[in-house]
Structure 1
């Protein structure tokens, strides 16, 4: 299934039995629920400048209502923890006092309740990759006007080449990918593909490892993962295994035409970030009614 599922604008719809039963499962025992969420494209709309990204207020409001009620609410992202702390205002605004942030695919971690931060040192190979990607972005624009506008984002323990601002984003990505992979091989870095982006990172970590860390720690009865892009697939597969074992859970997809194949992984399909906010709001409403 790669076409857009039938879902109302700014809303959500369940497309599997697991998805149809998820609100009941959460309401039955909220304190045993692990809710994990990607950030970009899920809680925050994709924007040309990732530095300007911020989560929707509607999602933040719903998460605030669930904070301290569910076993754990966690953001699992490729971004560095420092950026997500700023973009969620977790330390400045009330409501997310129990939020857990797993950044850089789980390499970094921040627990809002305790202020504990796991923040390993940045490898030199990533610093080197930043300079080489900067050079590549300039070369791409000189070689073909369709590729002009590529730029590089420093994500701490990872570095990413973006093509969203290019004259022809799809062409720029297709041109850039093999050359970025050559840089990765030379520096012994790992590649992660996404929506008009290719990212290099030192640790071969995935969101699956981050999800398993949370599951081992929380020991939940119900597991939900919300995501939108290929980098979320490993975590979504962990949830699929959980569901296949007969336990309640759901894979909630922020659906976009830029990554239509993500519908294949869905138990619940949302109309982009607005639909995610609506789903989280419905979850909070149901929990509050039952309580």
Structure 2
């Protein structure tokens, strides 16, 4: 194997990262690769509805899928939106042609689409969401954040502060009032990179990782993410590692968010770095066979 991780573990030692990477390559036949979308496959942009995935991502994903058990996009976005912004219908067609499966798990795992079933399975909107939305303009006004972009997702809502003059300060003002209102309506709050999301409880990316690992009888799991919304997935993959699976965590780093750096086996520079890692992994798996 001629490749090696370029950026070592946030824990400050090269050996654990090298060992974990080698184990991942060895487990390729039963390896599941899970990927966040925004900030991981897609660059962060001011308008979240224009966050198309990296133009090189489709080819990289198809190539990767040939050498692993399955590829899964696990995102906070609605599944249909992720499919559209990623051109994932077409990617799924190509992956299916190689006898592999692409999963798109939207809204933190509440929604499911696969390249074999080709339909989005989604639950009903959570009880309390409609009343929370009626209360939201008041919360925005009180937090001096009326110009925040409100993205309704069907099963939740994302409040983006990126367009405001001081997005970090606006998010900080919003977080507690939004959290209190969400709890009163039976919902949970998830902060991210200049965004506060409110959604139904019960499923998160960690639950999605565990379910996927069990369904596919995974022998290894790689997950790449970029912010706090991926923390549960990181914890789940680390738990799988403690159970004996090959486990590898990748932080798609930015100047805005550093919560995952110290938990990762490898830190890469945003979507470009994620794609380079996936290319390297694909090449190393092929070289090992």
Match of 1:283 among 281, 284, 287: 281
| C-alpha separation in 2, matches of 1:68 and 1:120 | 31
Change (3 A) 1:221 1:36: same
Q: Give the secondary-structure state (helix, strand or coil) at the position aligned to 2:94.
A: coil
Q: Give the secondary-structure state (helix, strand or coil) at the position aligned to 2:117.
A: coil
Q: Map 1:91-240 to 2 at 5 A.
A: 91-93=89-91, 94-97=93-96, 98-141=101-144, 147=145, 149-240=147-238
**What is the match of residue 72 of structure 1?**
70
Shift of 1:68: 4.1
Map Cα deviations across residues 35-82 of structure 1 (whole Å, 9 max, x no partner).
111111111111111100111123322111022431111011111111
Stretches of structure 2 lacking an aligned partner (at least 5 in a row): none
| C-alpha separation in 1, matches of 2:105 and 2:15 | 29
Q: Give the secondary-structure state (helix, strand or coil) at the position aligned to 1:261.
A: coil
Q: Is the 1:23–1:286 Cα contact (8 Å) retained in structure 2?
A: no
- What TM-score results when the alignment is normalised by the length of structure 2? 0.88
Change (3 A) 1:18 1:34: farther
- What TM-score results when the alignment is normalised by the length of structure 1? 0.87
Q: Is the 2:24–2:248 Cα contact (8 Å) retained in structure 1?
A: no
Q: Is the 2:67–2:282 Cα contact (8 Å) retained in structure 1?
A: no
Q: Is the 1:149–1:167 Cα contact (8 Å) retained in structure 2?
A: no
Shift of 1:152: 0.7
Q: Is the 1:130–1:152 Cα contact (8 Å) retained in structure 2?
A: no
Give the alignment's Cα RMSD to 1 decimal: 2.1
Stretches of structure 1 lacking an aligned partner (at least 5 in a row): 1-10, 142-146
Match of 2:7 among 1, 13, 24: 13
- Higher relative CO (Cα under 8 Å, sequence separation at least 6) belongs to 1
Give the aligned length.
276
Q: Which moved more, 1:63-72 or 1:161-170?
A: 63-72
Shift of 1:123: 2.9
| C-alpha separation in 1, matches of 2:127 and 2:239 | 36
